[in-house]
Structure 1
Amino acid sequence: MGHGLPHTLRDAGLDFLAFGLKQAQACLFAGLFFLSVFLVPKAGWAGIPRYDLLLVIALGIQAVMVWTKLETWDELKAISLFHVVGFALEVFKTSSHIQSWSYPDPGFTKVLGVPLFSGFMYAAVGSYIIQAWRLLDLRILHHPPYWMATLLACAIYANFFTHHFIGDYRWYLAACTLGLYARATVVFTPRQRPLRMPLLLSFVLIGFFIWLAENISTFMGIWKYPNQMGAWTTVHVSKWSSWSLLVIMTFTIVTHLKHVKARVHVPE
């Protein structure tokens, strides 16, 4: 017994370290992209606006990840879908009728007022989930039926648009999520032994770190909310729930990838 506790603590520490290192590796796309947000000057470089430089950098990172086989072509298709879905949301949210936020800087690659690089911020979430699945050998137990998960994901996405007209139903959707994923568990292997975590907890944690990244991005002036036009303020904590719901939508798309689907257990 005297030797058991230190040994257990040592294993737990090594597992935690391995988990952290693999999480950092899974964030490769997002990490490099947000590093470029820090490094690219607000005024751009060599006459090229900042938004256009960020697009070139994002495309370069994505190309290297496919070329080095860190991502497959099937995974790239899913990530491209995240880009399209995210860009459509950006166009709506920044429109003159909604004005939830804005991209104040100039750019040659802005379409309908939204820089094309913005879709990569959503694609980065998908890339992280795909990389984490591979690096941590993820398995999902007690995943809800696919049609239910897909219907919920569509409702979550629709609510980002419709809440401007018919009310915000995010907490009703959150309640549905709790019921649907209550038994779902993610099994991950940082080192040798598999560990478990409630899938809902992972959604909330990922949402929190995206919220932190959003605070950094708005502080750097990449985009701004109306209350940040005069001086920067922290992004409202309610955005954490929005990001957590968006993670669920992204996760649902990833689970439709053939090699991922084989690792998802749906009870009969």
Structure 2
Amino acid sequence: MSSVTVTTINRLDNWLMQISPPENTVGFRRFCWEFWFFGLKQARACLFVALFFAAVLLVPRSGIIGLPRYDVLLILALIIQVWMVWSKLETVDELKAICLFHLVGFALEVFKTSGAIQSWSYPDFAYSKVFGVPLFAGFMYAAVGSYIIQSWRLMQQRVAHHPPYWMAVLVAVLIYANFFTHHYIGDYRWYIAAATLGLYARTVVYFTPLDRERSMPLLLGFILVGFFIWLAENISTFMGLWSYPNQLGAWSAVHLGKWSSWSMLVIMTFTIVAQLKYVKQRIDVPR
């Protein structure tokens, strides 16, 4: 993408972060202004997600000029990621966090699609498949990290009453481990969810949709983001990007229980992103 596009996006970001409503805007009218700009900032934060998702929708299942669809998606995802860093829409440190989540997500994909588990599968051929998983799959997880990073900046977020980092990391590790171990020793997600509820019960995220700071429980944010990922998963499986066992004969909606899984993964992503230095400076951690 050209430097003109980068300049346009930078100008858009500056405008979104500096705009103010007309004077004496109150009541329902102010709500509408703030809701509108909240939506605009969220849409802008989804830049990586939107570009990647557009590729998913536009690249035909037969591929392009003889190159399989999964390979085309990998190339496009790499181009988008390189462009995000080149244009300084993401920093190198942010890229490191995103790459870590990419690796964590890919490892989970390999396990879940293995012969002994087969929670879901990627039915199409690709040159870039490793252990049965196309390499582009990790970018679906990385996209969540990109969204959180972009939203944090655009919404000028800060977090109050964040739990001690070692506790947050421990919960994130338990969440990740449970995705593997529940196939062997039982699913403990609801016990982990209860611990997470207690850990983040007092945690509040402050954000600025327009010119005034608003707040909401951080737990609610985890749940909402998880819901929208679940919706995107329904669209992706409908497009045949991957399939659950009950979707092999004919497509059906992804089980609602996956919403909780995605919300858990959002908590993991947040924990990774929260280690970035600029985020740490905006978090109030109890001593």
Q: CA deviation at 1:239?
A: 0.2
State the TM-score, normalizing by the size of structure 2.
0.91
In structure 2, runs of 5+ residues without a counterpart are: 1-23
Matched, 1:236 2:265: no
Deviations 1:130-160 (A, max 9, x none): 0001000000011100000000000000000
Q: CA deviation at 1:186?
A: 0.4
Identity value in percent? 70
Structure 1 unmatched runs, 5+: none
2:40, 2:63 → 1: CA distance?
Answer: 32
Aligned counterparts of 1:214 and 1:40: Cα–Cα separation in 2: 17
Which of 16, 38, 41 is the aligned partner of 2:60?
41
Distance 2:157 2:67 in 1: 41
Shift of the alpha carbon at 1:267?
A: 2.0
**Secondary structure of residue in 1 paired with 2:126:** coil
Deviation, structure 1 residue 179? 0.3
TM-score using structure 1 length: 0.97
Runs of 4+ in 1 over 6 A off after TM superposition: none
Give matches, 1:84-99, under 5 Å. Answer: 84-99=103-118
1:107 aligns with 2:126: yes
1:57 lines up with 2:76 in the alignment: yes
Partners of 1:249 and 1:177 lie apart in 2 by 11
Tell me, yes or no, if structure 1 residue 132 matches structure 2 residue 151.
Answer: yes
Cα distance in 2 for partners of 1:6, 1:93 equals: 52
Residue number in structure 1 paired with 2:243: 224
1:146 aligns with 2:165: yes
In structure 1, the partner of 2:178 is: 159
Instruction: Letter of the 1:207 partner, please give it.
Output: G
State the aligned residue count: 265
- 2:285 aligned with 1:266: yes
Question: Which residue matches 1:118?
Answer: 137
> What amino acid maps onto 1:99 in structure 2?
Q
Aligned partners of 2:104 and 2:25: how far apart in 1? 49
Q: Write out per-residue CA displacement over residues 153-179 of structure 1, whole angstroms, 9 at most, x where no aligned residue.
A: 000000000000000000001100110
Q: Secondary structure at the match of 2:41?
A: helix
Deviation at 1:7, TM superposition (A): 2.0
Q: How far has the Cα of 1:6 moved from its partner? A: 7.2
AA matched with 2:119: S
In 2, Cα distance between equivalents of 1:7 and 1:198: 24
| Pair 1:24 & 2:43 matched | yes
